[in-house]
Structure 1
Amino acid sequence: MDRAAMGQKPAATRSLRKNATDVLAREREVAKTKAINALLIRPIAILPTEVGDPIRPFALGLWNEIRPLLKPDISVTALRKVMATYVHSRSYQIAVARPGSLRHDINGAPVGPVSDADRLDAQEKYEGLKERDGSRSRKSPPPPPSPTSKAAVIRAGLLKLKDTER
């Protein structure tokens, strides 16, 4: 039985600390990777191609290997934008932030662990995305204003009256 039928969240949206398994691509990630590959002269193996494929953190400097694969009629800016939508996505950030996650080369082979600093940075980005999207519980409303003294209320009323008379 699949996760949705069992009422469980997909792996990509579970807590970063509770589940150290692979983050699996959903339709939105596959669409982003198809957009990336459409700009290149050949697809790159590190990207998930189907729903359920793992999302793998990129090796540092991978841009230098991807950039030469750009189709001649496509701008570098277009590639940068579509790559940014993928690497700044929630699922990619979860994949980087997971304990024990590894970076991968252009062919999808692991090349080394994600550094602790990069893992922490990804966790912070993920938390920021949760807050921005409203998936984190809302902050409590601001406390009510403190009660003001009777003298302060009268003074404020008199000052307001003086300002309107001028």
Structure 2
Amino acid sequence: MPARSTKTPERFGLDRLATPIGIALLVTDAEGVLRALDWEDYEHRMRELLRLHYGAVDLRDQPAPTEMRTALSGYFEGDLGRLSAIAWRIAGTSFQQKVWTALAQIPTGTTMSYGALAARIDMPKAIRAVGHANGSNPISVVLPCHRLIGADGSLVKYGGGLERKRWLLRHEGVEV
């Protein structure tokens, strides 16, 4: 029988926020820093990503900081710059961190292909790996994985569903 881990589970708070595209799940740490943002209908995937990044996780109902809720609500109401006010911290490999940092630098209202992002991080042949790291992004919307599109301009893959991706891009002024 394998040995059980004696590591104490990471304890995070879980809150829900109504948005025009569904109920957002907000996972925060003891300092009120965002650790995950996903959609209620994809809660199982979010929990799996948390497990992969942190090991055992204990999620408890707990309100997210008012400032975070206000910033997210502001974004969904049209104040697109509000996302930059949200403090976040996520675990991942050094490659994932590199991709996620680059995602955060894609300006609101613009899109980029997976290949262009791979080139931006000086790994032009790592297009598929960039796609995989993008799909493992635990903080959708705040780390704008929805701004990545196919090389031909098509909407491809979004963990929250293509309709949400389409809505987010239109909300940011991108014609899709």
Structure ID, larger Rg? 1
- Same fold per superposition (TM over 0.5): no
Q: Determine which structure has the larger strand proportion and give its number.
A: 2
TM-score by length of 1: 0.31
TM-score by length of 2: 0.30
